[in-house]
Chains A and B, each alone.
Chain A
C-alpha cells in the first residue's frame, strides 16, 4: 500500500507496527483467524526425569495408547492443511519416541516451524544431528538449577545437569537456535541469577524463566515448591535488571506464579481462543492440563471428526469459550475480556468446580483462604518432593533439612 519510501512514509518498523505480533499480546487472534497458529504435540508421557512440577496429568497415558507414527503424520498433515504454522514437539520426553526424527522431517517438509521441547538426557550427538538435519527450527532444553547437586535432585535423575550442558553445546555447534527453559520454585529461585548467567555462558538465544503453575503434579508438590513472597519480589528485580543488561544478547521471558498476582493469568489466551494441544493418545485439549477437569469429554483425532471440527464444534472447547459461561464476580467484571476468568483447571482443582472464577483472582471468594494456605506452605511447608512417575508418585528420601 505504501507508494513510496520517503521520509514521510518511513520504513522503520516498530514491533507493534510493521511487524505485528500475531499472538501473545492480547490481540483477538482466534476470533480473527480461527485455527491457532501454534499447537503443542505431546508425543508421549514417558520421560526419564521425575520433576515434581511436571505439567503432565497425574494419570499419565501408557505407551500402548500412544498414536502411531502414521497417526502422528496424519495429524501433522491435517494441521498444516488447516493453517497451523508452528508445532511444538513435547511430552513427556519427545525423544523417547523412536520416530522423533521422522516426525520432525515430516513436519518440516510441510513447511511447519518445528520446535523440540526436551529434557535432552536421551540425546547423543548423532541423534541430535539427525534431528537438526531433518529440519528442526528450534530447541528448548529444560534446566532444573544452576548446579548439578540441586538440578539433579529436582529432576530425580543422576548426571542430568551435566548431560544437558553437553547437549546444549552440540546444539550450538549445529547452529540450532537454543532456548533454556528454567522452571522456578522455592527450591531453586535463589539460583536465578546464576541460571541466567549460565544461559548466557552456554550462548542461548533465549531463556524462559517460568514459575511453576500449580495443577497436576505441581499441586501435589505445592508445599515443597511454593515460593516465598520475598523470593518472588527478588526474582522480579533480577529479571527486570537482566532484561535491560542483556538486551541483544539473551531474550528473557518471565512468568510469575499467579498465586501472588492480583489478577488471574489469561490462561492459554482464553479457553479455546488461540491454542490447543494433542495428547499422546490423540485427544485434542484446550490446554495441557484440561484432562484434570472432571466431567468434560475431550474428543480424539481417532474419532471420526476432523481436528478443525473438534476445535470449532466440540462441547469441551465451547464450554468455557468467550464470556457467556461466566458466573459472578466475572460476569460483571471490567476485566472479563482481559483474563477470561483465568485458569479453568485451577478453578476446578482449588474450588471443586471449573465454572468458578479462578481463585488466583482477588475477587474470588476463595482467594483469601488459598493465598493464606500457599503463603503458610511457602514458609513452613515440607521440602520433600513427590517425584513424578507412572506409579502415582514416590516421596523423596528424607533430606537433612527435614530430618
Chain B
C-alpha cells in the first residue's frame, strides 16, 4: 500500500487564497535567442503564451490568486470573477506537475 505522499501535501491546491510561487528549480526567463519567454522545468522547456507569461510573472510568492486576478481584471477591464477562475485552472495544471508551490501556508 502507498502511504500518503508528502508530495501531495507539498503541492498546491489552487484557490483564490493561494499564494503561488515558482517551485525551486523552475525558471521563467526570456530566451533571447528565440525571442520568447520560456518556463524551464525538469527535462522540458515550456513555451507559455503571452497571457500565461503575465500570470506567471505575478506568481511572486506575495500576491494571492485573488490579488493576481484583480491586477489582470483592472488591466484588461474584464470580470474579476471569471479571471480568477481561469487563473486557478491554469495554475492548478502547473501545480499538479509540481512547478508551483503555495507560499500562503508559510506566511505569518
A interface list, Cβ under 8 A from B: 1-7, 10-13, 15, 17-24, 33, 35, 37-38, 82-83, 85-86, 111, 113, 115, 136-138, 175-177, 179, 197, 200-201, 203-206, 245-251, 253
Contacts and interface: CB of A to CB of B under 8 A. Distances in A.
Interface size grouping (class) on chain B: 35 or more
B29 A111 contact: yes
A250 B96 CA distance: 9
Contact of B45 (A12, A22, A111): A22
B38 A85 contact: yes
Nearest to B42: A138
A245 B5 CA distance: 12
A249 B38 contact: no
A138 B83 CA distance: 32
A7 B93 contact: no
Contact of B96 (A12, A17, A23, A248): A248
A11 B83 contact: yes
A45 to B, nearest CB: 23
Question: Which secondary structure dominates chain A's binding surface?
Answer: loop
Contact of B7 (A83, A86, A179, A250): A250
B44 interface: yes
A197 B52 contact: no
Nearest to A33: B34
A19 B46 contact: yes
- Nearest first, the 5 A-B pairs at minimum CB distance are A83-B33, A11-B86, A113-B40, A137-B25, A177-B25
Contacts of A205: 7, 42, 98
Contacts of B82: 5-7
Q: Which of B3, B42, B47, B82 has the most CB of A within 10 A?
A: B42
Contacts of A246: 2, 5
A11 B51 contact: yes
Q: Which of B11, B39, B48, B86 has the most CB of A within 10 A?
A: B86
